[in-house]
């Protein structure tokens, strides 16, 4: 600013100097022009006037002399009078000429005085001469001439000489005038040149200074513009009085998305903000600065947060207002995000607190039941029916407790990003059938109508995926639908294939209920962990608040999507879209072609009969159907008596005349157990399974019937037809004759596992840790043990290390013997770690003895095949 002030002062002084020089030049030029004109006038008029006047004066003197000399011969009185008259006239003429000569005379005053004195003397002498002559007319001529020559003639000559001298001086003066004019012209020219050079120098200097200032201003302006482009703050300088924009930064379009004008500058602000700004600009009594965070809407509709700052500069000739626009969107979003995060954190803490309170209640409820029922069972040890009832309820409570713990573990695994999905083959029809069987009893217990529909899989129903986790998703959704639907309502499960992208099918699972529904606010947070609609819901319906969060995370792990649509008191629909990898069929779908099988379908609904016959015909089984139980009994008896027994009978459970169980009981009474009977039902068959099997039912199929499920069930029944035992006999022990090595450090768990396995006919050698198990295996004979069960977390030597050391032993059966992890480490990562350590399978605690037996049998069959292939015999050292 100081340099700018100095530049402005210097520029003013330069301009003042130029103006002064121009005025001086004008004055000098005018003055010299006047002098030059005067000199030129004198130069042109003075010599001429002098010559003319001088000549006339000399002529007058000459006339006087002539008239005087006339008196030499004629000196009468009349002649004197006459001459006196002529002389008087000549005197007047001489005075006139003398005045003109004096005007033109430029000589000294002394010379002029001498001339006037001589002329006066001539007049005096001539007058004296006239008196002298008039005194005597008879004066001798020579005496007159002598008097004139003595008294007057010298004056004539002297005066004429003086006039001639003056004329000569006049001629010389003319030359001097010429010289003066030339000198004056030279001086004027030189002075003009000097002044012109001076003005030119001042002008050039001024221009140079101005060029330097402009260059500096241009550089500073360029730097200023570059800075205004690169900085994040846009700014505008306005005239505080007129409001006119004086300067706008070049980054306005980048910051605000506009090219600022009076019309567009404030169009993105709210009207109240604009009014406040103009009030500030126009009111000089307000503070010198103004600052406010405002919401600014760009022309493209994007909303930004802008910090508007106004500064007034009043110490100028014209007050200015500088407006700064700082984009604070990111900071404001971050602040809003942090505020929301804090709010969410508070809500999360509150939700976790509520969750812990609910979990305490949820966990303590089955624990209380288990502890109380154990106490009751001990107190009623003599009452077997009471003990059986207590054990049944303990089993139910323990499974409920396990479900709660599984939810917590699943959520923990999801939050730690350790949840891994399996990629196994499964059939969509079997998957849905199994799920419907599981869920149906819940719906029936609440007197709800439950329906399912599956469509779009005519081109193939086999996929790769994690059917277990998919079942968990559906179980959470349908269980909630059942839980929140009042008695008498309905739940509908719809499964359909939407589209196929390459080898992926988008499969949609849609669960719709007529329950209590949800508000929009609840729908926004329904998938958050530890959340429930409100405390009253939690109090009334219970639950951990983790189910929906687990569901959403599982769906996302499968690259799927989940939606919810609900209205309060109208019901809810959850929609899940999951991409599934299709299994490419290498062979045709299996059937019973060329086996000549015949089947009978019994159902009191004609459409169900026709559907079942179509499914049987697709797998190459000839089928016929009847709609009454009595007709079915007659038809089976008739075929039996004609040695044309049906190869399979599919009998509906609930029929109008005689139910399926009674039909089965009468058939068995007449034809025995040669004909396999499979009961079909749209209801959960678990509640009637015991009665049905006692009546002679061999298997069960849920409605609707699907080809794959029907094929597998009939295959299983045909395979077991020869060895099937009557239902009333005890079941064959699955592990009869098998010797199993068990390593478990917990005494109770070890005893439970040992007894459960012994109930299945196995001989169990139990060890307290991995080291004992390793020593027992080392000291045993080849193939003495059929399998090894290892806990993972054990003292001395854990399960992983034990498995590795056993596999490393120099024994023929060490690399073949089945080893199964039996542990509370239930995550998918734990399964992978067990397999990597050398184990063949993994079973999580609490033990499901059926699952354990299935895996033991499967692995022992595998090992037997490998022993035979490798030629390893028992006790083969």
Lowest-confidence pick of 178-192, 565-579, 732-746: 178-192
CATH number of residue 36's parent domain? 1.20.120.1730
Lowest-confidence pick of 68-82, 612-626, 773-787: 68-82
Mean pLDDT of 835-863: 89
Q: 3-state SS string over 817-860? A: CCEEEEECCCCHHHHHHHHHCCCCEEEECCCCHHHHHHHHHHHH
Residues 160, 33 share a domain: yes
Looking at 302, 327, 352, the residue that finishes a domain is 327
Mean pLDDT of 657-685: 86
CATH number of residue 380's parent domain? 1.10.287.130
Other beta carbons within 10 Å of 692:
25
- Give the C-alpha separation, 398 to 402, whole Å: 6
* Angle (deg, nearest 10), helices 109-134 and 77-104: 180
Residues 756, 649 share a domain: no
- The sign of the dihedral angle between the CA atoms of 482, 485, 487, 489 is negative
Residues 484, 532 share a domain: yes
CATH number of residue 308's parent domain? 3.30.450.20
Which 3 state secondary structure label does DSSP give 235? Answer: strand
Residues 297, 247 share a domain: yes
Q: Buried (b) or exposed (e) across 851-861, using 16+ Cβ within 10 A?
A: ebbebbbebbe
Q: Buried (b) or exposed (e) across 69-85, using 16+ Cβ within 10 A?
A: eebeeebeeebbeebbe
- Give the C-alpha separation, 405 to 840, whole Å: 26
Residues 425, 409 share a domain: no
- Beta pairing partners, 820: 789, 841
Residues 567, 501 share a domain: yes
Mean pLDDT of the chain: 78
Pairing verdict, β 303-313 and 320-327: antiparallel
pLDDT at 538: 47
Domain that holds residue 473: 420-582
Mean pLDDT of 205-211: 78
CATH number of residue 626's parent domain? 3.40.50.2300
Looking at 719, 751, 780, the residue that finishes a domain is 719
Q: List the beta strands (DSSP E) in 195-288.
A: 233-239, 245-248
Mean pLDDT of 276-281: 72
Q: Which of 306, 313, 329 is nearest to 260 (CA)?
A: 306
524 in a structural domain: yes
Side-by-side strand order, sheet with 763-767? 763-767, 739-743, 787-790, 819-823, 841-844
Rg (Cα) of the chain, in Å, rounded?
Answer: 68
Longest pairwise C-alpha distance within the chain: 227
- Beta pairing partners, 198: none
Residues 768, 705 share a domain: no
Helices (H) and strands (E) in the chain, counts: 24, 22
Angle at 399 between CA 394 and CA 401, to 5 degrees: 95
Angle at 671 between CA 727 and CA 665, to 5 degrees: 50
555 in a structural domain: yes
Residues 425, 384 share a domain: no
Burial class (CB in 10 A: 0-12, 13-18, 19+), 669: exposed
pLDDT at 530: 57
Lowest-confidence pick of 1-10, 203-212, 221-230, 758-767: 1-10
788 in a structural domain: yes
CB 364 within 8 A of CB 396: no
Q: Predicted confidence band at 595 (pLDDT cuts at 50, 70, 90)?
A: confident
CB 177 within 8 A of CB 39: yes
> Which of 140-154, 203-217, 656-670 is predicted most confidently?
656-670
Angle at 299 between CA 293 and CA 305, to 5 degrees: 15
- Give the C-alpha separation, 777 to 806, whole Å: 8
Mean pLDDT of 754-768: 91
CATH number of residue 436's parent domain? 3.30.565.10
**In this predicted model, what pLDDT tens digit does every residue of 534-547 receive, in sequence order?**
544 544 444 556 77
**In this predicted model, what pLDDT tens digit does every residue of 804-833 receive, in sequence order?**
999 999 998 999 999 999 987 767 778 888
Position with higher pLDDT, 687 vs 776: 776
Mean pLDDT of 229-254: 72
- Give the C-alpha separation, 847 to 745, whole Å: 15
Complete DSSP assignment for 631-678: HHHHHHHHHHHTT---SEEEEES--SSS-HHHHHHHHHHHHTTSS-EE
pLDDT at 663: 92
Q: How far apart are the first and last CA of the chain?
A: 105
Residues 470, 368 share a domain: no
**18: CB partners within 8 A, 6+ apart:** 199, 202, 203, 206
- Give the C-alpha separation, 17 to 199, whole Å: 8
**In this predicted model, what pLDDT tens digit does every residue of 519-533 receive, in sequence order?**
888 888 788 765 555
Residues 60, 175 share a domain: yes
Residues 152, 16 share a domain: yes
- Give the C-alpha separation, 831 to 839, whole Å: 9
**In this predicted model, what pLDDT tens digit does every residue of 852-862 receive, in sequence order?**
998 999 999 99
The pLDDT of residue 293 is above 90: no
Total tally of structural domains belonging to the chain:
6
241 in a structural domain: yes
Burial class (CB in 10 A: 0-12, 13-18, 19+), 811: buried
CB 703 within 8 A of CB 681: yes
Q: Which contacts qualify for 761-764: CB closer than 8 Å, 24 or more apart?
A: 761/733, 761/734, 761/735, 761/736, 761/737, 762/735, 762/736, 762/738, 763/738, 763/739, 764/739, 764/740
Pairing verdict, β 819-823 and 571-582: unpaired
Q: Side-chain half-sphere of 246: how many Cα atoms within 13 Å?
A: 13
pLDDT at 536: 47
Q: Which helix (H) or strand (E) holds 307?
A: strand 303-313
- Give the C-alpha separation, 824 to 847, whole Å: 9
214 in a structural domain: no
222 in a structural domain: no
Looking at 523, 553, 582, the residue that finishes a domain is 582
Question: What whole-number percentage of the chain has pLDDT above 90?
Answer: 17
CB 601 within 8 A of CB 624: yes
Q: Which of 509, 507, 467, 508 is nearest to 491 (CA)?
A: 509
* Chain centroid to CA 532: 32
Which 3 state secondary structure label does DSSP give 244? Answer: coil
CB 844 within 8 A of CB 826: yes
The pLDDT of residue 726 is above 50: no
Position with higher pLDDT, 25 vs 160: 160
Residues 378, 437 share a domain: no
The pLDDT of residue 866 is above 80: yes
């Amino acid at each position: 600013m100081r340099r700018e002030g100095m530049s402005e002062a210097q520029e003013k002084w330069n301009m003042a100097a130029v103006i002064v020089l121009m005025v001086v030049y004008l004055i000098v030029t005018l003055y010299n022009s006047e002098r030059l004109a005067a000199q030129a006038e004198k130069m042109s008029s003075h010599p001429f006037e002098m010559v003319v006047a001088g000549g006339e004066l000399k002529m007058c003197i000459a006339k006087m002399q002539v008239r005087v000399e006339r008196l030499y011969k004629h000196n009468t009185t009349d002649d004197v009078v006459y001459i006196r008259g002529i002389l008087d006239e000549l005197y007047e003429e001489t005075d006139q000429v003398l005045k003109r000569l004096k005007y033109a005379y430029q000589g000294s005053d002394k010379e002029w005085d001498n001339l006037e004195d001589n002329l006066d003397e001539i007049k005096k002498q001539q007058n004296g001469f006239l008196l002298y002559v008039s005194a005597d007319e008879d004066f001798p001529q020579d005496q007159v001439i002598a008097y004139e020559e003595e008294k007057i003639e010298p004056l004539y000559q002297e005066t004429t000489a003086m006039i001639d001298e003056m004329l000569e001086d006049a001629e010389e003066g003319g030359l001097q005038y010429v010289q003066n004019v030339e000198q004056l012209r030279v001086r004027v020219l030189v002075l003009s040149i000097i002044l012109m050079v001076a003005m030119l120098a001042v002008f050039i200097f001024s221009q140079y200074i101005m060029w330097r200032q402009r260059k500096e201003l241009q550089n500073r302006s360029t730097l200023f513009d570059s800075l205004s482009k690169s900085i994040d703050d846009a700014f505008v300088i306005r005239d505080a009085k007129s409001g006119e924009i004086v300067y706008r930064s070049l980054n306005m379009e980048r910051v605000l998305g506009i090219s600022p004008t009076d019309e567009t500058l404030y169009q993105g602000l709210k009207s109240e903000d604009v009014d406040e700004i103009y009030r500030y600009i126009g009111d000089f009594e307000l503070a010198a600065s103004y600052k406010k965070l405002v919401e600014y809407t760009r022309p493209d509709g994007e909303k930004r947060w802008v910090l508007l700052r106004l500064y007034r500069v009043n110490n100028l000739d014209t007050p200015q207002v500088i407006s700064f626009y700082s984009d604070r969107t990111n900071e404001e979003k971050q602040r809003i995000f942090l505020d929301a995060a804090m709010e969410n954190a508070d809500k999360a803490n509150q939700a976790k607190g509520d969750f812990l309170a609910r979990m305490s209640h949820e966990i303590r409820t089955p624990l209380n039941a288990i502890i109380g029922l154990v106490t009751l069972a001990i107190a009623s040890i003599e009452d077997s029916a009471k003990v059986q009832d207590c054990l049944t309820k303990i089993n139910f409570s323990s499974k409920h407790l396990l479900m709660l713990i599984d939810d917590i573990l699943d959520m923990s695994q999801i939050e730690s990003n350790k949840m891994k999905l399996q990629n196994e083959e499964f059939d969509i029809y079997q998957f849905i059938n199994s799920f419907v069987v599981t869920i149906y009893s819940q719906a029936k217990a609440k007197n709800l109508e439950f329906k399912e529909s599956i469509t779009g899989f005519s081109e193939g129903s086999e996929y790769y995926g994690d059917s277990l986790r998919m079942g968990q998703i559906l179980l959470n959704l349908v269980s909630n639908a059942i839980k929140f639907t009042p008695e008498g309502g309905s739940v509908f499960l719809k499964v359909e294939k939407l589209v196929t992208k390459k080898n992926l099918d988008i499969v949609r699972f849609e669960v719709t209920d007529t329950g209590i529904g949800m508000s929009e606010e609840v729908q926004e947070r329904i998938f958050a962990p530890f959340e429930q609609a409100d405390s009253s819901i939690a109090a009334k319906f219970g639950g951990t608040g983790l189910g929906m969060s687990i569901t959403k995370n599982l769906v996302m792990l499968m690259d799927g999507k989940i939606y919810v649509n609900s209205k309060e008191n109208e019901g809810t629909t959850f929609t899940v879209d999951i991409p599934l990898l299709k299994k490419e069929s290498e062979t045709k779908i299996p059937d019973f072609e060329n086996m000549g099988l015949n089947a009978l379908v019994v159902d009191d609904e004609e459409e169900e009969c026709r559907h079942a016959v179509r499914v049987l015909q697709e797998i190459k089984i000839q089928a016929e159907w009847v709609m009454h139980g009595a007709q079915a009994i007659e038809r089976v008896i008739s075929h039996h008596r004609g040695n044309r027994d049906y190869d399979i009978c599919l009998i509906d459970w609930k029929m109008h005349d005689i139910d399926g169980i009674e039909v089965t009981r009468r058939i068995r009474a007449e034809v025995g157990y040669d004909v396999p009977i499979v009961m079909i039902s749209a209801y959960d068959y678990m509640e009637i399974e015991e009665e049905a099997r006692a009546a002679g039912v061999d298997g069960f199929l849920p409605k609707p019937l699907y080809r794959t499920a029907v094929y597998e069930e009939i295959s299983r029944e045909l395979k077991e037809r020869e060895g099937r035992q009557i239902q009333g006999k005890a079941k064959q022990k699955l592990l009869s004759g098998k010797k199993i090595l068990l390593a478990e450090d917990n005494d109770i768990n070890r005893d439970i596992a040992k007894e459960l396995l012994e109930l299945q006919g196995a001989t169990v050698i139990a060890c307290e840790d991995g080291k004992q198990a390793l020593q027992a295996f080392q000291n045993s004979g080849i193939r003495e043990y059929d399998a090894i069960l290892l806990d993972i977390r054990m003292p001395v030597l854990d399960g992983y290390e034990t498995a590795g050391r056993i596999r490393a032993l120099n024994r023929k059966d060490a690399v073949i013997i089945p080893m199964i992890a039996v542990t509370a480490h239930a995550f998918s990562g734990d399964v992978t770690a067990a397999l990597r350590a050398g184990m063949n399978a993994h079973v999580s605690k609490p033990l499901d003895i059926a699952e354990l037996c299935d895996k033991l049998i499967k692995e022992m069959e595998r090992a037997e095949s490998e022993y035979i292939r490798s030629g390893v015999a028992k006790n083969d050292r």
